[in-house]
Structure 1
Amino acid sequence: MERLTDEQIEQELRKLPDWRLVDEKWIRRRYKFKDYLNGVEFVRQVAEYSEGKSHHPNIAIDYKVVTLKISSWEMRGLTDLDFEMAHHFDELYKDQVQE
């Protein structure tokens, strides 16, 4: 696993328009839910997937808004795995919102 260059990060972020680069080493997205428990269920799914990958995002639950921040600590920046996970979290969100 290698740390991505600034150019690679920009390229990946173009594929994830709702994610933002933070402090040049994190990507962050806020997800909005119709109620608190939907957000909590989303967090459970994120946690389960993350545990399977042994790669864990920072998670904040603020009533109906869940914020995820991802970075690769060991690489001191962003890697392909961070963006793979962001794509997966977006799919989880899309599936949950459509239910």
Structure 2
Amino acid sequence: MAVLTDEQVDAALPDLNGWERRDGALRRSIKFPSFLDGIEAVRKVAAKAEEKDHHPDIDIRWRTVTFALVTHSEGGITEKDVAMAREIDQIVGSAAQ
């Protein structure tokens, strides 16, 4: 799978809710109403990641969860990352504040 060019990533970003390209990855931080809401979202994302065999880096800070997507084996952002960002958007939906 080929690493996407900066232009390809930039073209995908408008369709991704709250995602940005930073430090070589797609990143989105989401503030949830409660700590447990954030943990539940992480659980659902983890299940989808296992199903897709493509796992985000996840950082949990109280009610704020940050997802980072990069295809480490390819050394950059690929279509797999864009697709997983869309999956995460569907999972978190309106749960985020």
TM > 0.5: yes
Number of paired residues?
Answer: 96
Deviations 1:45-99 (A, max 9, x none): 111111111111110111111100000011100111101110110111115x29x
The runs of at least 4 aligned residues of structure 1 exceeding 4 Å deviation read none
Give the 5 Å matches for 1:66-77: 66-77=65-76
**Any unmatched runs of 5+ in structure 1?**
none
Q: Which amino acid aligns with 2:87?
A: H
Identity %: 38
When the two chains are superposed, the root-mean-square deviation of aligned CA atoms in Å is 1.4
Give the 5 Å matches for 1:20-99: 20-23=20-23, 25-94=24-93, 97=95
Q: Which amino acid aligns with 2:90?
A: E
For 2:54 and 2:22, locate their aligned partners in 1 and report how far apart those are by CA, in whole Å: 18
**Any unmatched runs of 5+ in structure 2?**
none
* TM-score, with length taken from structure 1: 0.90
* TM-score, with length taken from structure 2: 0.92
Aligned-residue offset at 1:22: 1.1
Contact 2:17 2:89 in 1 (8 A): no
